[in-house]
Amino acid sequence: MFKDIFEQYQWDEVKAGIYAKTAADVEQALHNQRRTLDDFAALISPAAAPYLQPMAEMSHQRTLQRFGNTMQLYIPMYLSNECQNICTYCGFSLDNKIRRKTLSAAEMLQETAVIKEMGYDHVLLVTGEAHQIVGLDYFKKALQLLRPHFSHISMEVQPMDEADYATLIPLGLHAVLVYQETYHQEDYKKHHPKGRKSSFQYRLETPDRLGRAGIHKMGLGVLIGLEDWRTDSFFTALHLQYLEKKYWQTRYSISFPRLRPFSGGLEPKVEMNDRELVQLICAYRLFNQEVELSISTRERESFRDHIIRLGITSMSAGSRTNPGGYAADLQSLEQFEISDERSAAAIATMLKKSGYEPVWKDWDQVLG
């Protein structure tokens, strides 16, 4: 179990080690062909900031070698904003007095029609964490309803038991995204004071349950801004390394959500500027050539246009973060503010002009 490895590391010691890295450490990491976690720590350290140009060039070349000139496009379908958790950073939090909505089967099909019209054959289903309203039975019905319409279905919902995942995978569940939010155990408790999400250990063990259930792909990440991003990213890389060795048949992706405004608002504890996000993306690519790196519409359009050559392999386009936002109800509360509001067609046009081929379904159907 990953928790056994996790418990061997102390947050403050890891953080101090990252900030103690020198230019010589960075140069050695860039020189190495096979990079270790210690090399990754050097590449995300403040000492690596002056080396952003060579990091970007190397990241671009490694990405081209593995993924070619392709960019996978994905779109979230928000099924429900019901949530029984209190999370300090989320618009769906239980203590936010908002109108709640859960899509019916008919409304899911309305959303599907709009999403298919955009060109998508791969959808990410998203809900808040409300087990009694949007639990296993709801997910089973949603997968059975939507499976005929999409080649691949991913989910970003509450962590579940291994048996639940084993039930959903044969129904068409292809990938699960489960972000730890932060690996800082004490601060995790501060941001999740109520609800099932308040269990740090249960969330930490979710990728192990997914791996044992035989999921095809899982997504990892932290919410950048809750804690020191360099230290959180080190623990994400540690988690990724463990999972790839243990569940080697599963594919993996990393996402980079930066804390965005929502109804109720939480200011980031730690700001990450654009150059630092580029540094982190390049560091992941230099550490791991196989992992998929994803960027969402949280980011500004000009920034997204410029980072597609630096290691990113998938991006959302045309997203709505509220239930029914594509067809049924444009007024329900969004989970967070969208920054890149361009349509999926506009993103595809931008990619083509940049020499990239937009891919509307998951990789193995296209490249396998």
Quick one: 37 exposed, middle or buried, by C-beta within 10 A (0-12, 13-18, 19+)? middle
pLDDT score, position 366? 40
The pLDDT tens digits of the residues spanning 254-283 come to 999 988 654 445 677 888 999 999 999 999
Mean pLDDT of 159-182: 97
Closest by alpha carbon to 116, among 353, 326, 355, 299?
326
Q: So what CATH class is 2-359?
A: alpha beta
CA distance 15 to 45: 10
Q: Mapping DSSP to helix (H, G, I), strand (E, B) and coil, where does residue 314 land? A: strand
Closest by alpha carbon to 312, among 299, 326, 330, 327?
299
CA distance 297 to 342: 9
Look at strands 251-255 and 217-220 and give their pairing: parallel
pLDDT score, position 75? 95
Give the number of other CB atoms < 10 A from CB of residue 140.
15
The pLDDT tens digits of the residues spanning 178-222 come to 999 999 999 998 888 877 888 999 999 999 999 999 999 999 999
Closest by alpha carbon to 211, among 239, 182, 171, 183?
239
Place 368 in a pLDDT band, splitting at 50, 70 and 90. very low
pLDDT score, position 265? 57
Place 330 in a pLDDT band, splitting at 50, 70 and 90. low
In residues, how long is the chain? 368
Residue 80, beta-bridge partner list: 102, 127
| Residue scoring higher pLDDT (368 or 338) | 338
pLDDT score, position 136? 97
Q: Mapping DSSP to helix (H, G, I), strand (E, B) and coil, where does residue 266 land? A: coil
Predicted confidence (pLDDT) at residue 334 exceeds the cutoff of 60 = no
User: Could you give phi then psi for residue 178, rounded to 5 degrees?
Assistant: -140, 105
CA distance 216 to 251: 6
Mean pLDDT of 48-68: 97
Residue the block writes with tokens 């403050």 = 12
Closest by alpha carbon to 269, among 189, 337, 195, 191?
191
Half-sphere exposure of 65 (CA within 13 A, CB side): 12
Place 321 in a pLDDT band, splitting at 50, 70 and 90. confident
Give the number of other CB atoms < 10 A from CB of residue 50.
10
The pLDDT tens digits of the residues spanning 7-47 come to 999 999 999 999 999 999 999 999 999 999 999 999 999 99
Range scoring the smallest mean pLDDT among 61-75, 156-170, 295-309: 295-309
DSSP 99-134: ---B--HHHHHHHHHHHHHHT-SEEEEEE-S-TTTS
Place 130 in a pLDDT band, splitting at 50, 70 and 90. confident
Give the number of other CB atoms < 10 A from CB of residue 163.
11
Mean pLDDT of the residues in the chain: 91
Give the pair of three-digit tokens for residue 103: 């899509």
Residue 367, beta-bridge partner list: none
User: Could you give phi then psi for residue 205, rounded to 5 degrees?
Assistant: -85, -5
Predicted confidence (pLDDT) at residue 99 exceeds the cutoff of 90 = no
Mean pLDDT of 130-139: 91
pLDDT score, position 329? 52
Look at strands 152-156 and 122-127 and give their pairing: parallel
